[in-house]
Structure 1
Amino acid sequence: MEQTNAELGEGKLFKLMIKFSVPCVLSLLVSALYNIVDQIFIGHSAAGDLGNAATGVVFPVFIIAQAFAWWLGDGCAAFLNICQGKNEADGAHRAMGTGIIFTVIVGAGMLAVFYPIKRPLLYFFGASENTIDLAVEYFDIVLGFMPVFMAMNMINGIIRADGSPAWAMSSLLVGAIANIILDAVFIFALGMGMAGAAWATVIGQTLSLAISAFYMARKTKTFDFGIDGFKPDMRKFGEAVKLGLSSFATQLTIVAIAVVCNVMLKKYGGQSAYGEDIPLAVIAIENKVFTVVINLTVGIALGCQPIISYNVGAKNYARVKKLFMYILLCTVAIGLVATLLFELAPLAVVGIFGAPKHSDPVLYKDFAVKTFRIFLMFVTFTCSVKMTSLFFQAAGKPVRAVVASVLRDVLFFIPLAVTLPLSMGIDGVLWAAPIADGIAIIIAAVITVTYFKSIKADSSVDK
């Protein structure tokens, strides 16, 4: 079995980018479908906009779980590819096996910690008296399968790093298709409501995990993974953990943003004509739509991770620079298209998720338009900052990666979202996002320029 992939260091960059990124983008879009499909079906069910608001307050729990899964999975993936670039891949499989064990343990720990405090937790995440019972109904089921959800996400990153992005995509696609079919059956045919949406989701996730586990047992390309892979190797695993720290930080900041938004929108929404539930329902939809956009750009960067990591390991810095520019151009293009859509046709986007059944439709549409046009005004900057963070993660620069991912959210957005409403009311929460994006893109540009100045390009390997 080959332990390196010379194609990553010698093949045409644009062709490699297409080969690795397209399946990864599709994988992440399919992954986003798990929550989006639930949101659409729930929005058209009897639960309506209150059901959408309920899934919105459960959303941070998914992101917390994904933070740990991507931390370990992306870290192990980057570690594998860097080792391949250095021709030092022996033993890398034990880092991955150790990561899988830790992922399952963390998933079980989340179940044990969160279940007894579910109602206070969901109230903390922004649930109102009108949505708490719906949120608990959904939460009880998805929480029980949290180890499955986390293992599925963790292993998927390893499969991509092994040079099988199409397999990673297929595993998620099977689960997503099952989720869509079961949503229709459980929610409408059987009248199971929120519980039906939750069961459709976890069954789909279980199918995806089964396919990924089969790959690890039988189909790996660049490493052998058997029982021996589960022998803990804390030294190698520690190196992988450092490389995945950016993914962890990025996801946790998403949690912080979701919680702060929910809490502030609930507080200041209650003081406005919109009330508590309209802002929560709209921001839940915005989160899911934004996930689609960000997954397009994240998918390109993650898909290119094996190419970046391999060439950094091999010190082919000219290829690294050129690939970064390709990724940046794609990111900007996606961001600009999304911006046009959100500015010109916000109601067309929101309408996909159903009409409000429990709220004033005029107020609901007014707040939806305002949210998409203000909150997502600089979505191009947001995507570029996230892409930069993932690039540094793949390049083995975890500190730069964390700086790029955390500053926008922790140092800028959260303080702004808390302070601006004091003078602007609920609109202040929305304006916090574009202001934070404008500051963050400047910082991301500075650390990127300084990084490329610090490396010496090997012009003899520029293809």
Structure 2
Amino acid sequence: MILDPIMIFVFHWGMMGAALATITGQIVSAILAVYYLCHMKSIKMETECFRVNPIISKKVLSLGISSFLTQISIVAIMAAMNNMLVIYGAQSRFGSDIPLTVVGIVMKVFQIVIAFSVGIAAGSQPVIGFNYGAGLNHRVKKIFKLMMAAEACVGVFSMIIFECFPMEIIKLFGNESVLYNEFAVLAFRTYLCTIVLCCIQKSVSIFLQALGKPILSMGLSLLRDFILSVPLVLFLPKLLGIKGTLYSAPAADMISFIAVIAVTRYLFGHLKKDEKEERETAFNRGEETINLVSE
């Protein structure tokens, strides 16, 4: 944010300046990360820490594969989306260039909102994992409800902005033709109308990672981001033309949200069962203690 305007507008380096700003930011952040790792108060990095442990690696990979596949699926979605925008955009009055440019902007704005959503869920992960590992399932449920409330607020606020003020967002990226603005308003209002459902779906997937359930987490991520999105992007334009590409995201969000509800009900049932077993175990231990004292 600091180096981009300096290198582009002050030094007049254009695209090269933007690239240098990005690279510089990555190098500085990497140096800061290494410095932090080497100066932690509670953990000291030793040679032993850098040796690959197969057991730990397996656990890390099983949890990280969900995020990895999600990122890969985004590439597949964009590839399919761009192809459909070019093909069906050329057949519409908007042409191929306007839809391609506008959806690129919409996806960037979408990623900003999802970054907030993922940040809330990722920030909750260690707290969820700690309490779940300690058997404090009532706390896990409380954290989940609080996290869902925060995600819903982010999603609803974003949806209101996109539905009510799309032109104000578009103007941040420059003023274009009337036709361009028309499609941009349509794209924001259509493609992002169910963003609140997407925020909740992303957070539930990360919540599953915190509970050590990588298969469920991966399945939920792939359901929305690949299994549903790619076929819908390819199929809906055949029925609805260029608008079909925009309806693919809301359709995927609504269908995947049904799976989110089912998974959440399963999880709460599982947590409630564990909580009941914990109470019974604690009660039995109390009785044993009383018997021992009586004896």
Partner of 1:58: none
Q: Does 1:199 align with 2:20?
A: yes
Deviation at 1:220, TM superposition (A): 5.0
Mapped contact 2:126–2:210 kept (Cα < 8 A) = yes
Partner of 1:347: 167
**Which structure has the higher relative contact order (CA within 8 Å, separation 6+)?**
1
Aligned with residue 453 of structure 1, among 269, 274, 293: 269
Partner of 1:419: 235
Partner of 1:56: none
Pairs within 5 Å for 1:75-94: none
Q: Does 1:187 align with 2:3?
A: no
Partner of 2:157: 337
TM-score, normalised relative to structure 1:
0.58
Partner of 1:319: 139
Equivalent AA in structure 2 for residue 333 of structure 1: C
Partner of 1:384: 200
Structure 2 unaligned runs (5+)?
Answer: 283-295
Partner of 1:49: none
Equivalent AA in structure 2 for residue 345 of structure 1: F
Equivalent AA in structure 2 for residue 338 of structure 1: S
Partner of 2:290: none
Partner of 1:154: none
Mapped contact 2:74–2:226 kept (Cα < 8 A) = no
Q: 1:459, 1:306 → 2: CA distance?
A: 24
Deviation at 1:227, TM superposition (A): 2.9
After superposition, give the CA deviation of every residue in 1:346-403 in whole Å (9 maximum; x if it has no partner). Answer: 01111112223xxxx1111011101000001111111111110000011100111112
TM-score, normalised relative to structure 2:
0.89
Mapped contact 1:318–1:459 kept (Cα < 8 A) = no
Q: In structure 2, the residue corresponding to 1:225 is in which secondary structure?
A: coil
Partner of 2:186: 370
Pairs within 5 Å for 1:398-417: 398-417=214-233
Q: In structure 1, the residue corresponding to 2:93 is in which secondary structure?
A: coil
Q: Does 1:308 align with 2:89?
A: no
Equivalent AA in structure 2 for residue 379 of structure 1: I
Equivalent AA in structure 2 for residue 271 of structure 1: Q
After superposition, give the CA deviation of every residue in 1:167-190 in whole Å (9 maximum; x if it has no partner). Answer: xxxxxxxxxxxxx23212221223
Pairs within 5 Å for 1:224-243: 224-243=44-63
Aligned with residue 79 of structure 2, among 250, 259, 266: 259
The percentage of aligned residue pairs carrying the same residue is: 39
Q: Residues 454, 266 of structure 1: CA spacing in aligned structure 2 closer, same or farther, 3 A cutoff?
A: same
Q: Residues 305, 220 of structure 1: CA spacing in aligned structure 2 closer, same or farther, 3 A cutoff?
A: farther
Pairs within 5 Å for 1:266-281: 266-281=86-101
Partner of 2:211: 395
Aligned pair count? Answer: 277
After superposition, give the CA deviation of every residue in 1:74-133 in whole Å (9 maximum; x if it has no partner). Answer: xxxxxxxxxxxxxxxxxxxxxxxxxxxxxxxxxxxxxxxxxxxxxxxxxxxxxxxxxxxx
Mapped contact 1:217–1:226 kept (Cα < 8 A) = no
**4+ long deviations beyond 6 Å:** none
Equivalent AA in structure 2 for residue 342 of structure 1: F
Equivalent AA in structure 1 for residue 240 of structure 2: M
Deviation at 1:250, TM superposition (A): 2.0
CA RMSD of aligned residues (A): 1.7
Q: 2:63, 2:236 → 1: CA distance?
A: 35
Q: 1:229, 1:370 → 2: CA distance?
A: 52
Deviation at 1:199, TM superposition (A): 1.0
Mapped contact 1:283–1:371 kept (Cα < 8 A) = yes
Q: Residues 220, 270 of structure 1: CA spacing in aligned structure 2 closer, same or farther, 3 A cutoff?
A: farther
Pairs within 5 Å for 1:102-181: 180-181=1-2
Mapped contact 2:162–2:188 kept (Cα < 8 A) = yes
Q: In structure 2, the residue corresponding to 1:355 is in which secondary structure?
A: coil
Q: Which of structures 1 and 2 has the bigger CA Rg?
A: 2
Structure 1 unaligned runs (5+)?
Answer: 1-179
Q: 1:322, 1:295 → 2: CA distance?
A: 23
Pairs within 5 Å for 1:29-40: none
Equivalent AA in structure 2 for residue 270 of structure 1: A
After superposition, give the CA deviation of every residue in 1:48-86 in whole Å (9 maximum; x if it has no partner). Answer: xxxxxxxxxxxxxxxxxxxxxxxxxxxxxxxxxxxxxxx
Mapped contact 2:89–2:99 kept (Cα < 8 A) = yes
After superposition, give the CA deviation of every residue in 1:390-418 in whole Å (9 maximum; x if it has no partner). Answer: 00011100111112111112222211110
Aligned with residue 103 of structure 2, among 283, 301, 307: 283
